[in-house]
Amino acid sequence: MAVSIKNEDQINKMRIAGKLAADVLVMIEPYIKVGVTTDELDKICHDYIVDVQQAIPAPLNYHGFPKSICTSVNHQVCHGIPSPKKLKKGDIVNIDITVIKDGFHGDTSKMFFIGKPNVAAKRICDIAQKSLYIGINMVKPGVHLGDIGHAIQTFAEAQFCSVVREYCGHGIGEKFHEEPQVLHYGKAGTGVVLKEGMTFTIEPMINTGKRHVKQLPDKWTVVTKDHSLSAQWEHTLLVTKTGVEILTLRDEENFPTI
Ligand code: MF3
Ligand code: CO
Ligand code: CO
């Protein structure tokens, strides 16, 4: 199956869904502090998406996922299930939001600190964000996905960090996960060639330790095997005639590319 190209009407719907997903990350920030449970954050996001945005939280019941957002704390890599456990000082947490509006998906995540982060925690969050931005800045027609994976891997490994290989970015649209797979490692000049109108995510998961991961018995939460810290940032992107449009951009980000 080929990678789908979105038409103007579909792109406008992706813009709306992307903006809503970004808005949820902005909305939830003031609630993320010492003592809050990830279950509470899940409920606040759920109610905001459903009642205020009149949208659908895509994770809920997705292949049996039990909650409306993913919350991945410290050595959790991705797909963490919100729980009654309280966040504590020094934790880092990825909040991953996907909404469906008018049939289209917007998918975005970022890292938050609980209290003041220690040096290692701040560092891995910054490196993961930079990895995402390096990938985004390469997006334009004619670029191979392998070029992007290679650039992210080269950057992260030069910082003595590792790139998770079992999970990747993805095409997105009327389906949550479409073709192509967007690997965050690889070889330049290989893989799908980007074309105007493609929409996909980049969402590198970067570890302070080794790249290997395992899934917990809950069948969802992915953790680093060596229990080292992991961080992830995600945006939904549109390939434009000359470059990229970040469909899930937040005001706090200032992007020189657009
Ligand atoms: N939002 C995740 C992604 O970026 C996928 C979560 S699937 C879920 O692709 F079922 F865990 F929600
Ligand atoms: Co995604
Ligand atoms: Co996501």
Averages of pLDDT over runs of 10 residues in the chain (258 residues) are 94 98 99 98 99 99 98 99 98 99 99 96 98 98 98 98 98 98 98 98 99 98 98 98 98 74
Q: What is the mean pLDDT of the chain?
A: 97
42 lines ligand 1 (CB under 6 A): no
pLDDT at 49: 99
Residue with tokens 């990825």: 94
Sort 172 into a burial class: Cβ within 10 Å, 0-12 / 13-18 / 19+.
Answer: buried
Provide the phi-psi class of 47: left if phi over 0, else alpha when psi is between -120 and 50, else beta.
Answer: alpha
- Global pTM value: 0.98
66 lines ligand 1 (CB under 6 A): no
The ligand with the least distance to the CA atom of 80 is 1
DSSP class of residue 108 equals: E
The ligand with the least distance to the CA atom of 25 is 3
Residue pair 201/170 in contact (Cβ under 8 Å)? The answer is yes
**pLDDT tens digit string along 94-142?**
999 999 999 999 999 999 999 999 999 999 999 999 999 999 999 999 9
Q: Determine the residue of 49, 96, 107, 201 to mutate for testing ligand 1's pocket, defined as the one with the most ligand atoms within 8 A of the Cβ atom.
A: 96
Write out the two tokens for 228: 């080292």
Which amino acid appears at position 39 of this protein?
D
Ligand 1 atom at minimum distance from 67 CA: 12
60 lines ligand 1 (CB under 6 A): no
Write out the two tokens for 113: 């600190």
The CB density around residue 240, as the number of other CB atoms within 10 Å, is 16
79 lines ligand 1 (CB under 6 A): yes
Sort 217 into a burial class: Cβ within 10 Å, 0-12 / 13-18 / 19+.
Answer: exposed
What is the per-residue burial (b if ≥16 Cβ within 10 Å, else e) of 73-111? bbbbbbbbbbeeeebeeebbbbbbbbbbbeebbbbbbbb
pLDDT at 258: 42
Nearest CA to ligand 1 atom 7: 59
pLDDT at 254: 81
Element (H, E) at 41: helix 38-47
Q: Determine the residue of 79, 97, 183 to mutate for testing ligand 1's pocket, defined as the one with the most ligand atoms within 8 A of the Cβ atom.
A: 79
pLDDT at 82: 99
Q: How many whole angstroms from 44 Cα to the centroid of ligand 3? A: 18
DSSP class of residue 207 equals: E
